[in-house]
Amino acid sequence: MTTIREVGPVTLGDAGPQSAWFDVRSLEPGVFLIAEPGHVNSFLVVGDDRAVLLDTGLGVADIRAVAEGLSGKPLSVVNTHYHFDHTGGNRQFDQIAIHRDGAALLAQPAPEGLAQGYMEYTRRMISAWGGYKDLDDSYFHLVTADTLIRPLPPGFDPQAYAVTPSKATQLLDDGDELDLGGRVLRVMHTPGHSPDSICLLDEHNGLLFGGDTINTGPIYAQLEGSDVTAFAASTRRLAGLRDGVRRVFVCHFMRVDNPSSLLAEIADGFEQLLAGTASYRDNADCLGYPVREACFDHFSVFVAGDAGGTRV
């Protein structure tokens, strides 16, 4: 039996022991966060007739059981883009929609070493977590129930983790509307992070699902397929929505739920990048590749490091 509060944490009674991997909460009526804290956030949007799962996460635990337990409606997947951390659970679903520029990318084998590189990052993060939590308990008190880093789920073998290609059953274009019954999500093609990146706009309720286009930690603009100029144009377009958006939900890092002011901040940040007025520091992305990081108040942007090399 699933207990659903209108807003707040959700208790999952029937999704199996792996459900402890996910932090699940109701963000507002018909909108759920299914988070893999520290990794990636997926969202379930439920209409009167059907539900869509926006991304399927890493694929290390049973996200379909969680989503079905919450929605009780026919369920399909919309991927915000083809990257493995948003499509890892696609294999559990029959109906998968993605922007048409992502279909071939979704179906291709993942770059060698990607899955194991990410598991190594996960190992480092979990090992660093203990010290971080101790400092938080003593001094900072920022960590909350929904930002706890979890151990990998029982029965999951990180050495066997693999990124599996999947097949799109529906191709999306800019302006397409997904009618869920009493709730419509509009597709906005926002290339930049990847050629196929989309955001989903629930205009009636003032909600924007930002995919990997809008983020609150490092925004990845250094990858193979990333395009900083296109990214700037996409974020400026999103900034134009500002007055019609109440909440911006993002896929990475702990600040999931953001005010619409973030949209203009990010568009302004990309303009500084293009104008050459941003300042950078050296950093490394989650796979350990060198990047240059331009830091702003509520986010940063990774661009390709001096060593060159663009990666997925």
189 binds Zn ion (CB under 5 A): no
Task: Give the number of other CB atoms < 10 A from CB of residue 297.
Answer: 8
CB of 310 to Zn ion, least distance (A): 14
Measured in degrees and rounded to the nearest 5, phi and psi for residue 137 equal: -60, -35
Among 23, 101, 212, 293, binds Zn ion (CB under 5 A): 212
Least distance from Zn ion to the Cβ atom of residue 1, Å: 32
List C-alpha distances in Å: 308 to 167, 289, 304. 32, 10, 6
Report which residue's Cβ sits closest to Zn ion. Answer: 83
Run of H or E residues at 42: strand 40-46
Torsion from C-alpha of 289, 295, 298, 303, nearest 10 degrees: -40
Q: Which is nearer to Zn ion, 62 or 85 (CB)?
A: 85
Identify which range of 27-35, 83-91, 172-180, 198-206 contacts Zn ion by CB under 5 A.
Answer: 83-91
| Angular region, 10: left φ>0, alpha ψ -120 to 50, beta rest | beta
Which residue in the set 83, 99, 183, 247 belongs to the binding site for Zn ion (CB under 5 A)? 83
Q: Which is nearer to Zn ion, 36 or 212 (CB)?
A: 212
Q: How far is CA 92 from CA 108, 166, 264, in A?
A: 18, 10, 37
285 binds Zn ion (CB under 5 A): no
Nearer to Zn ion by C-beta: 68 or 212?
212
6 three-class SS: coil
Question: Measured from the CB of residue 90, what is the shortest distance to Zn ion in angstroms?
Answer: 14
* The one segment of 85-93, 130-138, 179-187, 254-262 that binds Zn ion by CB under 5 A: 85-93
Verify binding: residue 85, Zn ion, rule CB under 5 A.
yes
Q: How many chain residues are in contact with Zn ion, going by CB under 5 A?
A: 3
Q: Are 76 and 50 in contact (CB under 8 A)?
A: yes
Chain positions contacting Zn ion, by CB under 5 A: 83, 85, 212
